[in-house]
Chains A and B, each alone.
Chain A
Amino acid sequence: MTLFTYVPSTSLAHGLDVRCKLCCLSLMSIATLQGGPVPLSLITAMVAGLLIATAIRPLTLFRELKLFFLLVAMVFISRSVTTGGEPIINLWGISATKQGIVAGALLSWKFVLVMLMGIVFTKTTKPSHVKGAVQWFLRPIPFVPETRVAVMISLFLRFMPLILTQASEVSQAQQARCFHLEKNPVKRLLRPTVPLLKKTFQSADQLALAMEARSYSDKRTDPVFIRSGQEPLILALCFLVLGLSFIV
């Protein structure tokens, strides 16, 4: 997965404060999900500009998002055949309506846009900064241990690849002993999970020890945020687009 990993650079989106970026992301998502074609076109132009700045090759984009586009296509098809209205295409007794196609296209457009925004965000933001921002947003909420949540996020980010590697190792070790010839579906499911769970729990145990050895505590140094100074402008722009999406 190269699409959802941070790539260091100096573009506009890279320089913005994470907290501002997260706000913009939510504002723009709301605008996208409830706006009509006019605000959608505006947002598309903005997202396209940011995508170009991050220098992702369109081909890579399509390849990595294959499954997502399949999903979008399915949404489009089901929308076009289930919405009532004036039929224009008729195949095997199922008809797609004009209203359905328009609604489906709009919905697919929104899905793709939100997805692309997510990509721009993850491409331009370090995971550790996201963690810091989450901690910052959680601080005013009582009874939420924000430092603990932040550490959990970073552990999740850190250990997901490790668990996946272990999973593939376990499955390869079992294939080496011809496990793929096993017919019983229950066994097929359970056998690889047992060693994997055992390994994961053992690692978790050792990890807890190692964190304690490094004096882990809730009273940690606070995260730092770096501002580029363009935050107010960008935030104002996002609010403008959001307002527009309600009016037009």
Chain B
Amino acid sequence: MRTLPLIEVNQLCHDYDGTGGGIQQISFRIFKGEFILVAGKNGSGKSTLFRHLNALLMPTTGDLLVHGRSIRKDPLAARKAVGLVFQDADTQIVGETVADDIAFGPENLGLARNKIQERVDLALDALGLSQLRERNPSSLSGGEKRRLAIAGVVAMDPEVIVLDEPFSNLDHPGTLDLIACIEKLHRTGHTIVLSTHDIEKVITLATRMIILDRGRLVADDLPQALLKHLEPFGVREPCASRLGMAVQPWAS
């Protein structure tokens, strides 16, 4: 019924130092338009998995295909199709102003100047940063920095946006702003993959949920179906669900 998967993960293993840490035997497929929530406790392998999605790490064994092409053969294609936003916003912002930082990725792709300008404007607008375009990133708030990090990836026009723990260190308004932005990106046709250990914030947006535990994929289903099976894997069940109610969306 469905078309070709965007990303296909086949028996993916990554062993950092030969001790069996990292991730093991992970297989799943990502289709266009999905919003996948990846949950799991600290050290369960979420970041390791994400770094494979845009070819920053190469599998020890197994393979990962983006548009049917292996990342081993064509890492650049994976990097263009999949944009990765890291956990720590501070270390991924490289420009001296907000607009410069967003232009960094498109400049790397060698786009023409007016094309870059266009992309920067679109990304600024999509993440609600237009007012801050000439600001120095070090003077931004935590939430603004996080949105800038995402804007830098959005400007590269990837099909899939992968967000690693986007809500860590954010206050409540910052979290709400971010959720609204992510929802908008999903609505405008981006496929979203997002990791968090506090699933309550985005579970109503997600179309699918994957649980990792000690480097293995232990569940892959609709979020509602997994709600009652979270706690053995160190993921907190949303309060509402525990009380037997439906989880309400966080977006304001």
Interface residues of A (CB under 8 A from B): 8, 126-128, 151, 154-155, 157-158, 161-162, 165, 203, 206-207, 209-217, 219-222, 224
**Is B76 close to A, CB under 8 A?**
yes
14 extra interchain contacts, Cβ-Cβ under 8 A, other than A213-B83, A213-B86, A215-B108? A154-B95, A155-B94, A158-B93, A158-B94, A161-B136, A207-B91, A209-B86, A210-B86, A211-B94, A214-B92, A214-B152, A215-B156, A216-B108, A221-B111
Contacts of B94 in A (CB 8 A): 151, 154-155, 158, 207, 210-211
B50 to chain A, nearest CB (A): 10
B86 CB contact (under 8 Å) in A8, A157, A206, A222: A206
Q: Is the Cβ of A214 less than 8 Å from the Cβ of B153?
A: yes
**Is B116 close to A, CB under 8 A?**
yes
Known: A128-B100, A206-B86. A215 touches B92 (CB 8 A): no
Contacts of B79 in A (CB 8 A): 213, 215
Q: Is the Cβ of B56 less than 8 Å from the Cβ of A154?
A: no
Known: A161-B138, A211-B94, A221-B113. A206 touches B105 (CB 8 A): no
Q: How far, in angstroms, from A58 to B137 measured CA to CA in the complex? A: 29
Contacts of B111 in A (CB 8 A): 221
Q: Is the Cβ of A220 less than 8 Å from the Cβ of B110?
A: yes
How does the 8 Å CB contact mask read for B6-20 relative to A, with 1 for contact and 0 for none?
A: 000000000000000
The 9 listed contacts between A and B (C-beta, < 8 Å) are A128-B95, A157-B96, A209-B51, A209-B86, A215-B80, A219-B110, A221-B106, A221-B109, A221-B110
7 closest A-B pairs by beta carbon, nearest first, are A210-B92, A206-B91, A214-B105, A221-B107, A215-B108, A213-B84, A220-B107
B63 to chain A, nearest CB (A): 20
A170 to chain B, nearest CB (A): 15
Q: Which A residue sits closest to B50, measured CB to CB?
A: A213
Q: How far, in angstroms, from A126 to B95 measured CA to CA in the complex? A: 12
Contacts of A127 in B (CB 8 A): 96
**Is B125 close to A, CB under 8 A?**
no
Q: Which A residue sits closest to B113, measured CB to CB?
A: A224
Q: Is the Cβ of B96 less than 8 Å from the Cβ of A206?
A: no
**Is B90 close to A, CB under 8 A?**
yes
Name the residue in B51, B96, B106, B156 with the highest tally of chain A Cβ atoms < 10 Å from its Cβ.
Answer: B96
Q: How far, in angstroms, from A98 to B242 measured CA to CA in the complex? A: 90
A212 CB contact (under 8 Å) in B56, B116, B138: B56
Q: Is the Cβ of B137 less than 8 Å from the Cβ of A158?
A: yes
B36 to chain A, nearest CB (A): 19
Q: How far, in angstroms, from A30 to B149 measured CA to CA in the complex? A: 43
B172 to chain A, nearest CB (A): 24
B138 to chain A, nearest CB (A): 5
Name the residue in A157, A213, A216 with the highest tally of chain B Cβ atoms < 10 Å from its Cβ.
Answer: A213
Q: How far, in angstroms, from A213 to B96 measured CA to CA in the complex? A: 19
A123 to chain B, nearest CB (A): 15
Name the residue in A162, A209, A212, A215 with the highest tally of chain B Cβ atoms < 10 Å from its Cβ.
Answer: A215
Q: How far, in angstroms, from A151 to B105 measured CA to CA in the complex? A: 12
**Is B54 close to A, CB under 8 A?**
yes
Contacts of A128 in B (CB 8 A): 95-97, 100
A153 to chain B, nearest CB (A): 10
Q: Which of B81-123 contact A (CB under 8 A)?
A: 83-84, 86, 88, 90-97, 100, 104-113, 116
Contacts of B221 in A (CB 8 A): none
Q: How far, in angstroms, from A155 to B94 measured CA to CA in the complex? A: 6
Contacts of B74 in A (CB 8 A): none
B78 to chain A, nearest CB (A): 10
Contacts of A126 in B (CB 8 A): 96-97
Q: How far, in angstroms, from A155 to B91 measured CA to CA in the complex? A: 11
A221 CB contact (under 8 Å) in B51, B80, B86, B112: B112
Q: Is the Cβ of B56 less than 8 Å from the Cβ of A215?
A: no
Contacts of A210 in B (CB 8 A): 86, 91-92, 94
A162 CB contact (under 8 Å) in B84, B138, B152: B138
Contacts of A214 in B (CB 8 A): 92, 104-105, 108, 152-153, 156
Contacts of B136 in A (CB 8 A): 161
Q: How far, in angstroms, from A162 to B137 measured CA to CA in the complex? A: 10
Q: How far, in angstroms, from A22 to B112 measured CA to CA in the complex? A: 26
Q: Which of B41-67 contact A (CB under 8 A)?
A: 51, 54, 56
